[in-house]
Every structure is written in structure tokens, then in C-alpha cells.
Amino acid sequence: MELAATRSSQEMRRSDEFTHISELTHEGLPRKKAFIVIGINTAFSSRKRRDSIRQTWMPQGERLLQLEQEKGIIIRFMIGHSATSNNILDRAIDSEDSQHKDFLRLVVEFAMALQEAGCFFVVLECVLALVAAAATFALRILTIGIGVGPFCIGQVN
């Protein structure tokens, strides 16, 4: 899933969810700042793929936090929950997340948090059609779907 939005620094300060993203200034003048979330769709069984991404192009640790704070760019693996609450699959992802701190879970809830933070659109890519439908009906902002079925307001095939 990929989520992206742009908003003013005043709107950023209203957000409790993303308070670590601060206003950038150039020569003392306040500037508008991009706020971008790059979500990499993943599966429970894709640990090797995630490790490969971490080792090649995804910043880790302090570099990941610095990218968020200085540039307003958040990169995370996106995953839901297993069918059975708190089973071995969920615990494995929780353990991996505690080590790397690079997961976002619950797509719809996260999209709603972005909406409350002031984003004006959400792009949903490669998520289940049911998830895209749930996000579209839950949000007051534009949802754009890429390969997610007919339930988003805007479609790209």
C-alpha cells in the first residue's frame, strides 16, 4: 500500500499522531513541507524479502528516523493481522517490528489517522478489495486505488 499527501506546517502541528515531523525553515522563513508515507505491501511469510529491502534501499535505525524528521518521508512495511488474533504469525511480526521498528498495521485505521492529521488523499495499492472498500467508506477524503478493485473513488488500472 502506498499513501501520500501534502499539507501545511500549521496542519502538521495539529496532529498528535505525527508530532515528530516538524516544520523546516530556510533562512528563517517557514516553508510548506511534503508529508509522504511509503507503504510496502508484505505478507507474513516474506521475511527474506523484507530483509533484502532493508539491506538494499530502505534506511534503518537513526537514518530512518532522520528521513522522517528532516524530510517528512515515512517508509514502512504494511501488513494486517492474521485471521486468529495473537497467533504465532502475529507474534513473529511483532517480534520483527520490535527489532526494526518499520511496520504499520491495520490499513484502515492508519488511513483514518492520516486523514485526521490533515492529508487530503490516500493512494491504496495492492491491498485486498475489501480493505480498499472499507477505507473508502470510512474516510471523508479521496481514495485512489491502484489494482484494488472498483471501490475507490479514483481508479488506476
Confirm whether 125 is a catalytic residue.
Answer: yes
Q: Which of 25, 21, 24 has the alpha carbon at shortest distance from 35?
A: 21
Contact 145, 151 (CB under 8 A): yes
Q: Is 3 left (phi over 0), alpha (psi -120 to 50) or beta?
A: beta
Could you please report the per-residue DSSP string of 104-140?
EE-HHHHHHHHHHTT--EEEEES--HHHHHHHHHH-S
Catalytic one among 23, 96, 116, 125? 125
Residue 102, C-alpha cell as written in the block = 518499520
For 1, residues 6+ apart whose C-beta sits below 8 A from its C-beta are: 39, 41, 78, 107, 123, 124, 125, 126, 127
Strand 3-7 to strand 33-41: parallel, antiparallel, or no bridges (unpaired)? antiparallel
Residues known to be catalytic: 125
